[in-house]
């Protein structure tokens, strides 16, 4: 069990309010202050400061926050193992939409016999949400796409994937080479902010001094299958990983746009807490995934 004063500290890090922290933990506000005062006295440093009435972590507070989050996640994993010693082991991880729907099924199919002693839970969400859930200890690790601060985690590459632009089979872009500037004449159908697919597109656009707003007509949709169906009907173009449209490309219902100055390959990353005592177990699962990955 993590020290209750560290739990108070972590809650205050999230809430940035002594009043809200007290309410969330069902304790008094003076008790919250006492817990933080104890930690500051114990570590001999200020953990919080105010900046224009906004509660902010000091650099030392940031370091303690990282340690406390890791300790909380490892404690939860360890306690689960103690309580469920006679049960199957449990692994809970997250995968982004592209990976969860178009990469993991073939991997899990190959691994299914190896997982007979494991209760496996896979959460599918966008990169930003999964990293937050990892930070809060709600999942053991994540397999994500897109951009994030790799210095904050232990990371490994699961696989690489090509990022492409696609349109409907009957679209004018389907039969010719397309200049980069021409794409802005089309309606863009794009994933929501926080998704790895969108962050890759935003980075690609920035290389050309453009951004999502450069498309005068655009639609944001969190569901990848809905995006593909709209593009199939000729209602716009989209950008995604080739892995997500392999079937449609084979059938000809979607066509890869032959786009000038656009050749992007990105990695799918395995991510877990840096320094976790369960890191070797998580990396072992990654190695199992690699064995059954179909190129």
Same domain flag for 73 and 197: no
Question: Cα–Cα distance between 293 and 87 in angstroms, integer?
Answer: 28
Same domain flag for 143 and 124: yes
Query: Is residue 256 a contact partner of residue 207, using CB atoms and an 8 Å limit?
Result: no
**Residue ranges in 50-195 assigned as alpha helix (H):** 59-83, 97-102, 104-111, 127-135
CB contact burial 107-145 (16+ within 10 A = b; e otherwise): beeebeeeeeeeeeeeeebbbbbbbebbbebebbbbbbb
Give the per-residue pLDDT at 85.
53
Query: Is residue 253 a contact partner of residue 232, using CB atoms and an 8 Å limit?
Result: yes
Domain that holds residue 142: 88-295
Same domain flag for 219 and 93: yes
Query: How far apart, in Å, do the first and last CA atoms of the chain sit?
Result: 43
Which residue, of 64, 81, 98, is where some domain finishes?
81
Same domain flag for 93 and 216: yes
Burial class of 42 by CB neighbour count within 10 A (0 to 12, 13 to 18, 19+): exposed
Query: Is residue 231 a contact partner of residue 225, using CB atoms and an 8 Å limit?
Result: no
How many separate domains does the chain show?
2
Q: What is the CATH number of the domain that holds 168?
A: 3.40.190.290
- DSSP H or E stretch at residue 182: none
Q: What is the CATH number of the domain that holds 70?
A: 1.10.10.10
β-sheet bridge partners, residue 188: 218, 237
One pLDDT digit (tens) per residue for the chain, 295 residues:
567 888 888 889 888 999 999 998 888 998 899 999 989 998 899 999 988 888 999 999 888 888 888 777 776 666 666 555 555 678 899 999 999 999 999 899 888 887 777 888 999 999 999 998 998 888 999 999 988 889 889 999 999 999 999 999 999 999 899 999 999 999 999 999 989 899 999 999 999 999 999 999 999 999 999 999 999 999 999 999 999 999 999 999 999 999 999 999 999 999 998 888 888 889 999 998 998 886 5
Same domain flag for 19 and 107: no
Same domain flag for 111 and 220: yes
Same domain flag for 128 and 176: yes
CB atoms within 10 A of CB 226: 12
80 CB-near residues (< 8 Å, 6+ apart)? 90
Same domain flag for 199 and 240: yes
Give the per-residue pLDDT at 154.
92
Same domain flag for 116 and 45: no
Question: Cα–Cα distance between 55 and 225 in angstroms, integer?
Answer: 42
Query: Is residue 8 a contact partner of residue 32, using CB atoms and an 8 Å limit?
Result: yes
Query: Is residue 143 a contact partner of residue 93, using CB atoms and an 8 Å limit?
Result: yes
**Global confidence as pTM:** 0.70
Same domain flag for 76 and 144: no
Which residue, of 59, 81, 103, is where some domain finishes?
81
Which residue, of 25, 51, 81, is where some domain finishes?
81
Give the per-residue pLDDT at 87.
59
């Amino acid at each position: 069990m993590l020290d209750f004063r560290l739990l108070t500290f972590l809650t205050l890090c999230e809430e940035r309010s002594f009043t809200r922290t007290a309410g969330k933990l069902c304790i008094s506000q003076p008790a919250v202050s006492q817990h933080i005062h104890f930690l500051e006295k114990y570590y001999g440093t200020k953990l919080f400061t105010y900046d224009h009435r906004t509660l902010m972590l000091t650099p030392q507070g940031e370091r303690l926050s990282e340690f406390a989050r890791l300790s909380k996640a490892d404690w939860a994993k360890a306690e689960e193992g103690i309580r469920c010693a006679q049960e199957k082991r449990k692994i809970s991880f997250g995968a982004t939409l592209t990976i969860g729907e178009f990469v993991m099924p073939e991997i899990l199919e190959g691994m299914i016999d190896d997982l007979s002693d494991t209760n496996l839970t896979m959460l599918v969400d966008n990169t930003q949400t999964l990293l937050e859930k990892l930070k809060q200890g709600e999942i053991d690790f994540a397999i994500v796409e897109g951009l994030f601060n790799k210095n904050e985690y232990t990371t490994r590459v699961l696989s690489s994937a090509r990022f492409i632009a696609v349109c409907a089979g009957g679209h004018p872009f389907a039969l010719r080479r397309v200049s980069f500037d021409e794409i802005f004449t089309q309606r863009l159908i794009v994933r929501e902010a926080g998704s790895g697919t969108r962050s890759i597109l935003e980075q690609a656009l920035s290389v050309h001094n453009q951004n999502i707003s450069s498309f005068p007509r655009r639609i944001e949709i969190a569901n990848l299958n809905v995006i593909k169906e709209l593009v199939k009907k000729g209602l716009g173009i989209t950008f995604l990983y080739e892995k997500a449209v392999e079937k449609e490309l084979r059938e000809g219902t979607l066509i890869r746009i032959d786009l000038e100055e656009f050749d992007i390959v990105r990695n799918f990353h395995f991510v877990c807490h840096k320094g976790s005592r369960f890191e070797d177990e998580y990396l072992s699962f990654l190695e199992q995934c690699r064995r059954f990955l179909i190129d």
